[in-house]
Each structure stands twice: as C-alpha cells, then as structure tokens.
Chains A and B, each alone.
Chain A
Amino acid sequence: EVQLWESGGGLVQPGGSLRLSCGASGFTFSTYAMSWVRQAPGKGLEWVSGISGSGGSTYYADSTKGRFTISRDNSKNTLYLQMSSLRAEDTAVYYCAKPRGRDGYNWGNWGQGTLVTVSS
C-alpha cells in the first residue's frame, strides 16, 4: 500500500525559512516523479513544485521560483521542500503527491498534508 506522510510544518515569521519532508513507502520511490501541491485555507489547489525520479530535473510554479527548492533523497525514500523568504500568501496546507504513472501530474496518491502558517 502506498503511503505518504508530510512533516515539518509550523508557524514561521515572514521572511523566514522552513523545510518540509515527505516520507514514502509501498512503492519504488526512486522511479517516480513527485510533486508538492498546496492549499491555502478555504481556497483551491495550487501546484508548487515537481521533481523527477532521479532528482535531476526540478520544476517550480512562478510563485515559488527562486524561493523554494525541491529535492529528494532516494536512499531515504524522502522528498523535501526547502522554503525561504516566506510570505503570508505561502500560508497553506502542503501536500506531497505521487502520480499514477512514473511521471506526470495526475496524482493518485496524496499525503495528509502539513500546515505552514506564515505570520508575525
């Protein structure tokens, strides 16, 4: 059974940094691209960033480019999102998501999410 679990969320001041982690089990982690998707309170879904299975290719939404860094450690079956220069508008539940196929962006598996609150 595929399982994804996020951690690392919390309260951070504007301009601060935070690193999210996503542990994975139940599939061959290194062969799947992974993504982060966020949802602001009471709002819709927004793709944040994606990474290839090898980690060699990374992709970002314009809203996070230059501030967020996605990475993975395939030896630990873990996905990361390093967030810096955080803004109030980054406040959201952050989900990690696995696609149905080896790559692509139709996500068949999601974690439960971790809440990031950016506030002074």
Chain B
Amino acid sequence: DIVMTQSPNSLAVSLGERATINCKSSQSILYSSDNKNYLAWYQQKPGQPPKLLISWASARESGVPDRFSGGGSRTEFTLTISSLQAEDVAVYYCQQYYVTPPTFGQGTKVEIK
C-alpha cells in the first residue's frame, strides 16, 4: 500500500496569514500516460463529512475559495491557504487515488493562533 505522511500534525496560524501543509507519498503517484498526479485534498470540520477541495494535486473544486491552492508532483505535495480565515479551522487530509487501496494521510489540524 502507498503510505501518505502529512506534516505537521497540527498548525496554528494567525488570521490572514499563510498556512502550508505537506504531504509525502511512499511512491510516485504521477501517472505517466496522462501526466496527472492522483492526489486529492479534503477539509473536514467537526461533525461533518470530508469535503473535496482539490483533485489532481492542483485542480480546485468548484466553489472552493481561491485562497486554497495545491502543488507538488510525484511524491511531495503541498496544500496552501494563502490567507487563513476563521472558517478554515478544520482537519485537512491528503489522499492518493493512484492505486487500490486509496490511502489517506493522518490529517493536519489547522487552528487559529
């Protein structure tokens, strides 16, 4: 199985400041035939199901604010919140969907400093 490792486990950022979450996969999740990274980012708030923010490592879902951006390739990826808002407090997960079983990172809790 592909192991996904996120860092840090938790992050406290001041309102309006940048938050960056890292995600590493134990093997490349870049599919050569379509040149796509099979990496998704989810946001989960307490008591709610996860919400898909980004697919293909960098493609934001419709309706997701543009302060959220994803980057990286092969085995190293980032999720950046450019200007943290109060409503962004949540746990964020990366997930690979390159192979079965799909696997998640352990999650990063983002809080307000």
Q: Is the CB of B49 within 8 A of A105?
A: no
Q: B61 — which chain A residues lie within 8 A by C-beta?
A: 100, 108
Docked Cα-Cα span, A61 to B103, in Å, equals 10
Q: B97 — which chain A residues lie within 8 A by C-beta?
A: 104-106
Q: B103 — which chain A residues lie within 8 A by C-beta?
A: 47
Docked Cα-Cα span, A112 to B45, in Å, equals 12
Asked if B20 is at the interface (CB within 8 A of a chain A CB), the reply is: no
In angstroms, how far is the closest chain B Cβ from the Cβ of A2? 12
In angstroms, how far is the closest chain A Cβ from the Cβ of B63? 11
**Interface range on chain B (Cβ under 8 Å from partner):** 20 to 34
Chain A, residue nearest B52 (CB)? A108
Q: Which of A35, A59, A104, A105 neighbours the largest number of chain B CB atoms within 10 Å of its CB?
A: A105
Q: Is the CB of A50 within 8 A of B106?
A: no
Q: A59 — which chain B residues lie within 8 A by C-beta?
A: 100-101
Q: Is the CB of A44 within 8 A of B102?
A: no
Docked Cα-Cα span, A46 to B103, in Å, equals 7
Docked Cα-Cα span, A47 to B100, in Å, equals 10
Docked Cα-Cα span, A82 to B106, in Å, equals 27
**Interface range on chain A (Cβ under 8 Å from partner):** 20 to 34
Q: Is the CB of A44 within 8 A of B106?
A: yes
Q: Is the CB of A46 within 8 A of B104?
A: yes
Q: B48 — which chain A residues lie within 8 A by C-beta?
A: 112
Interface positions of B from 62 to 109, Cβ below 8 Å from A: 93, 95, 97, 100-107
In angstroms, how far is the closest chain A Cβ from the Cβ of B16? 28
Q: Is the CB of B49 within 8 A of A95?
A: yes
Q: A113 — which chain B residues lie within 8 A by C-beta?
A: 49
Q: Is the CB of B49 within 8 A of A112?
A: yes
Asked whether A44 and B50 contact (CB < 8 A) given A59-B100, A59-B101, A106-B55, the answer is: no
Q: Which of B38, B61, B104, B106 neighbours the largest number of chain A CB atoms within 10 Å of its CB?
A: B104
Asked if A88 is at the interface (CB within 8 A of a chain B CB), the reply is: no
Q: Is the CB of A44 within 8 A of B107?
A: yes
Q: B95 — which chain A residues lie within 8 A by C-beta?
A: 45, 105-106
Asked whether A100 and B55 contact (CB < 8 A) given A50-B100, A108-B61, the answer is: yes
Q: Which residues of chain A have a CB within 8 Å of any CB of chain B?
A: 35, 44-47, 50, 59, 61-62, 95, 100, 104-108, 110-113
